[in-house]
Chains A and B, each alone.
Chain A
Amino acid sequence: MCRPTFIRKLLVALLWINLGNSLHPQPPSSIVLNDVTRETGIDFVHTDGSTGQYFLIESMSAGLAVIDFDSDGDLDIYFLNGAPIQATPDQPPKLNALYRNNGNWKFTDVTKAAEVGDSHMELGIACADYDNDGFIDIYLNNYGGNILYRNNGDGTYLEVTDYAAVGNGQRVGAGASFFDMDGDGDLDLYVGNYIRFNPSLHRLHVHKGLPSYPSPLSFEPDPDSLFENLGDGTFRDVSTQSGIDAFAGRSMGLVTFDYDDDGDIDVYVANDTQENFLFENDGHGHFNEVALLAGLAVDFKGKAQASMGVELVDLDQDGRLDLFVTSFSEEFATYYRNLGSGSFEDATLRAGASEATFPHVKWGVAAADFDNNSTPDLIIATGHLDPLREKRVGTSSTTSFRVPNVVLKNMGQGQLVDAGKVWGSGALVVESTRGLVSCDLDGDGKQDVVALNSKSPPTILKNDSPSGSFVQIQLIGIDSNRDALGAKVEIEQLGKKQIAQLRSGHSYQCEGHHFLHFGLQSGEAIINADIRWPSGRTTHVQLKPSQFAVIVESP
Chain B
Amino acid sequence: MKPTQEFDDDAPSASSPPLQAPPARPLLLGLWLWRVGVGLLLTVVAVLGYGSSAGWFAVDNRDLAIKKSKNLVSAAKESMPTGALTQPMPNAAQTSGAAINAENNLTPASNPPPLAALVPEKSLEIIAECRRVAQHLRQTFPNSLEAQEMQARVEFQLGDVEQARATWLKILDVEPNYVHALRGVGDVSTLNGELKEAVQYFRRAVLADPEDLTRQVTLGVALLQAAEVEQAADVLRTVVERDQRQVGAHAELGRALSQAGDFQSARTHFEAALKEESRLADPSKVHLGLATVLQRLGDKEQAKHHQDAYLRLRKSVSEQREGERRDYDDVKAIGLDAARLYVDMARVYLVGRQAASAELLLLRASRMNAADVDCRQALAFLAVNQDRLPDAIRWLRELAVLKPDDFTVTAEIARLYVQMGDPENAERYLKEYLEAQPKSAAALGALAEFYLVVTQDGSNAVEFSQACADVQPTAESFSRLAAAHQLAESRAEAIAALERAVELAPGNAVYMQRLALLRETQPVANPPKKP
- Interface on A for B, CB 8 Å cutoff? 205-210, 214-215, 217-218, 274-275, 292-293, 295, 298, 300-304, 330, 343, 349-350, 352, 354-360, 393-399
CA A207 – CA B127 in complex, angstroms? 11
With a cutoff of 8 Å between Cβ atoms, the chain A residues found around residue B160 in the complex are 393-395
- Asked if B454 is an interface residue, CB under 8 A from chain A, the answer is no
CA A399 – CA B227 in complex, angstroms? 21
- Asked if B292 is an interface residue, CB under 8 A from chain A, the answer is yes
- Decide yes or no: A292 and B124 within 8 Å by CB, A350-B259, A359-B191 being known contacts: no
Instruction: Please determine whether B127 and A209 come into contact, CB atoms closer than 8 angstroms.
Output: yes
Instruction: Please determine whether B328 and A303 come into contact, CB atoms closer than 8 angstroms.
Output: no
Can you offer 15 A-B residue contacts whose CB atoms are under 8 A? A208-B334, A209-B125, A217-B321, A218-B322, A218-B326, A292-B288, A293-B295, A295-B292, A295-B295, A302-B284, A394-B159, A394-B160, A396-B162, A397-B162, A397-B192
CA A205 – CA B129 in complex, angstroms? 22
Among A205, A303, A355, the most chain B Cβ lie within 10 Å of the Cβ of A355
Given contacts A217-B325, A354-B195, A393-B161, list 15 more A-B pairs with CB under 8 A.
A205-B330, A208-B127, A208-B158, A208-B330, A215-B328, A295-B295, A298-B288, A354-B227, A394-B155, A394-B160, A395-B162, A396-B192, A397-B162, A397-B192, A398-B194
Instruction: Please determine whether A205 and B9 come into contact, CB atoms closer than 8 angstroms.
Output: no
Q: Which of B229, B285, B310 contacts A301 (CB 8 A)?
A: B285
Q: Which of B194, B224, B285 contacts A355 (CB 8 A)?
A: B194
CA A300 – CA B257 in complex, angstroms? 11
CA A218 – CA B282 in complex, angstroms? 21
CA A350 – CA B230 in complex, angstroms? 11
Instruction: Please determine whether B9 and A303 come into contact, CB atoms closer than 8 angstroms.
Output: yes
With a cutoff of 8 Å between Cβ atoms, the chain A residues found around residue B326 in the complex are 217-218
With a cutoff of 8 Å between Cβ atoms, the chain B residues found around residue A359 in the complex are 191-193
Q: What is the distance, in angstroms, from B254's C-beta to the closest C-beta of chain A?
A: 10
With a cutoff of 8 Å between Cβ atoms, the chain A residues found around residue B195 in the complex are 354-355, 358
Q: What is the distance, in angstroms, from A142's C-beta to the closest C-beta of chain B?
A: 25
- Asked if B289 is an interface residue, CB under 8 A from chain A, the answer is yes
- Asked if B79 is an interface residue, CB under 8 A from chain A, the answer is no
Q: B259-272 interface mask toward A, CB cutoff 8 Å, 1 = contact, 0 = none? A: 10000000000000
- Asked if B16 is an interface residue, CB under 8 A from chain A, the answer is no
Instruction: Please determine whether B284 and A398 come into contact, CB atoms closer than 8 angstroms.
Output: no
CA A224 – CA B284 in complex, angstroms? 26
Q: What is the distance, in angstroms, from A88's C-beta to the closest C-beta of chain B?
A: 28
- Asked if B522 is an interface residue, CB under 8 A from chain A, the answer is no
- Asked if B172 is an interface residue, CB under 8 A from chain A, the answer is no
CA A319 – CA B227 in complex, angstroms? 25
CA A206 – CA B162 in complex, angstroms? 22
With a cutoff of 8 Å between Cβ atoms, the chain A residues found around residue B191 in the complex are 330, 359, 396
With a cutoff of 8 Å between Cβ atoms, the chain A residues found around residue B285 in the complex are 301-303
Q: What is the distance, in angstroms, from B311's C-beta to the closest C-beta of chain A?
A: 8
Q: B182-201 interface mask toward A, CB cutoff 8 Å, 1 = contact, 0 = none? A: 00000000111111100000
- Asked if B474 is an interface residue, CB under 8 A from chain A, the answer is no
Q: Shortest 10 CB-CB distances between A and B: which pairs?
A: A394-B160, A209-B124, A302-B285, A359-B193, A358-B193, A209-B123, A217-B325, A206-B330, A349-B227, A398-B192
- Decide yes or no: A300 and B258 within 8 Å by CB, A209-B330, A355-B226, A394-B161 being known contacts: yes
Cβ-Cβ contact count across A and B, 8 Å cutoff? 109
Instruction: Please determine whether B161 and A206 come into contact, CB atoms closer than 8 angstroms.
Output: no
| Chain B residue, CB-CB nearest to A297 | B288
With a cutoff of 8 Å between Cβ atoms, the chain B residues found around residue A393 in the complex are 160-161
With a cutoff of 8 Å between Cβ atoms, the chain A residues found around residue B123 in the complex are 206, 208-209
With a cutoff of 8 Å between Cβ atoms, the chain A residues found around residue B226 in the complex are 355
B285-335 at interface with A (beta carbon < 8 Å): 285-286, 288-289, 291-292, 295, 307, 310-311, 314, 318, 321-322, 325-326, 328, 330-331, 334
With a cutoff of 8 Å between Cβ atoms, the chain B residues found around residue A215 in the complex are 325, 328
Q: What is the distance, in angstroms, from A346's C-beta to the closest C-beta of chain B?
A: 8
Q: What is the distance, in angstroms, from B314's C-beta to the closest C-beta of chain A?
A: 8
- Asked if B215 is an interface residue, CB under 8 A from chain A, the answer is no
Q: What is the distance, in angstroms, from B36's C-beta to the closest C-beta of chain A?
A: 45
Instruction: Please determine whether A349 and B192 come into contact, CB atoms closer than 8 angstroms.
Output: no
Among B258, B314, B331, the most chain A Cβ lie within 10 Å of the Cβ of B314
Instruction: Please determine whether B192 and A301 come into contact, CB atoms closer than 8 angstroms.
Output: no
- Asked if B122 is an interface residue, CB under 8 A from chain A, the answer is yes
- Asked if B78 is an interface residue, CB under 8 A from chain A, the answer is no
- Asked if B163 is an interface residue, CB under 8 A from chain A, the answer is yes
- Asked if B485 is an interface residue, CB under 8 A from chain A, the answer is no
With a cutoff of 8 Å between Cβ atoms, the chain A residues found around residue B331 in the complex are 206
CA A350 – CA B160 in complex, angstroms? 33
- Asked if B241 is an interface residue, CB under 8 A from chain A, the answer is no
Instruction: Please determine whether A300 and B10 come into contact, CB atoms closer than 8 angstroms.
Output: no
With a cutoff of 8 Å between Cβ atoms, the chain B residues found around residue A350 in the complex are 227, 229, 259
CA A208 – CA B311 in complex, angstroms? 33
CA A205 – CA B330 in complex, angstroms? 8
- Asked if B153 is an interface residue, CB under 8 A from chain A, the answer is no
| Chain B residue, CB-CB nearest to A275 | B314
With a cutoff of 8 Å between Cβ atoms, the chain B residues found around residue A354 in the complex are 195, 227
CA A275 – CA B191 in complex, angstroms? 23
Q: What is the distance, in angstroms, from A130's C-beta to the closest C-beta of chain B?
A: 36
CA A208 – CA B227 in complex, angstroms? 33
Instruction: Please determine whether A394 and B163 come into contact, CB atoms closer than 8 angstroms.
Output: yes
Q: What is the distance, in angstroms, from B251's C-beta to the closest C-beta of chain A?
A: 9
With a cutoff of 8 Å between Cβ atoms, the chain B residues found around residue A357 in the complex are 193
Instruction: Please determine whether B161 and A217 come into contact, CB atoms closer than 8 angstroms.
Output: no
- Decide yes or no: A209 and B161 within 8 Å by CB, A217-B322, A355-B226 being known contacts: no
Q: Which of B224, B291, B311 contacts A349 (CB 8 A)?
A: B224
Q: Which of A209, A217, A274, A395 contacts B334 (CB 8 A)?
A: A209
Instruction: Please determine whether A207 and B330 come into contact, CB atoms closer than 8 angstroms.
Output: yes
- Asked if B376 is an interface residue, CB under 8 A from chain A, the answer is no
Instruction: Please determine whether B318 and A274 come into contact, CB atoms closer than 8 angstroms.
Output: yes
| Chain B residue, CB-CB nearest to A353 | B227
CA A208 – CA B338 in complex, angstroms? 11
Q: What is the distance, in angstroms, from B217's C-beta to the closest C-beta of chain A?
A: 14
Q: B218-254 interface mask toward A, CB cutoff 8 Å, 1 = contact, 0 = none? A: 0000001011010000000000000000000000000
| Chain B residue, CB-CB nearest to A356 | B193
CA A391 – CA B273 in complex, angstroms? 41
Q: What is the distance, in angstroms, from A20's C-beta to the closest C-beta of chain B?
A: 25
Instruction: Please determine whether A210 and B124 come into contact, CB atoms closer than 8 angstroms.
Output: yes
With a cutoff of 8 Å between Cβ atoms, the chain A residues found around residue B67 in the complex are none
- Asked if B500 is an interface residue, CB under 8 A from chain A, the answer is no
| Chain B residue, CB-CB nearest to A273 | B321
Instruction: Please determine whether A352 and B227 come into contact, CB atoms closer than 8 angstroms.
Output: yes
Instruction: Please determine whether A205 and B328 come into contact, CB atoms closer than 8 angstroms.
Output: yes
Instruction: Please determine whether A302 and B192 come into contact, CB atoms closer than 8 angstroms.
Output: no
With a cutoff of 8 Å between Cβ atoms, the chain A residues found around residue B292 in the complex are 295
CA A274 – CA B295 in complex, angstroms? 22
Q: What is the distance, in angstroms, from B224's C-beta to the closest C-beta of chain A?
A: 7
With a cutoff of 8 Å between Cβ atoms, the chain B residues found around residue A396 in the complex are 161-162, 191-192
- Asked if B415 is an interface residue, CB under 8 A from chain A, the answer is no
Q: What is the distance, in angstroms, from B66's C-beta to the closest C-beta of chain A?
A: 27
- Asked if B255 is an interface residue, CB under 8 A from chain A, the answer is yes
CA A529 – CA B125 in complex, angstroms? 67
| Chain A residue, CB-CB nearest to B286 | A302
Q: Which of B10, B126, B227, B229 contacts A303 (CB 8 A)?
A: B10
CA A116 – CA B416 in complex, angstroms? 81
With a cutoff of 8 Å between Cβ atoms, the chain A residues found around residue B307 in the complex are 292-293
Q: What is the distance, in angstroms, from A395's C-beta to the closest C-beta of chain B?
A: 6
Instruction: Please determine whether A292 and B310 come into contact, CB atoms closer than 8 angstroms.
Output: yes
With a cutoff of 8 Å between Cβ atoms, the chain B residues found around residue A205 in the complex are 328, 330
Q: What is the distance, in angstroms, from B113's C-beta to the closest C-beta of chain A?
A: 20
- Decide yes or no: A302 and B288 within 8 Å by CB, A208-B158, A396-B161, A398-B192 being known contacts: yes
| Chain A residue, CB-CB nearest to B327 | A218
CA A350 – CA B259 in complex, angstroms? 8
CA A39 – CA B270 in complex, angstroms? 57
- Decide yes or no: A209 and B122 within 8 Å by CB, A218-B325, A302-B286 being known contacts: yes
Instruction: Please determine whether B193 and A399 come into contact, CB atoms closer than 8 angstroms.
Output: yes
Instruction: Please determine whether A300 and B194 come into contact, CB atoms closer than 8 angstroms.
Output: no
Instruction: Please determine whether B162 and A349 come into contact, CB atoms closer than 8 angstroms.
Output: no
With a cutoff of 8 Å between Cβ atoms, the chain B residues found around residue A352 in the complex are 227
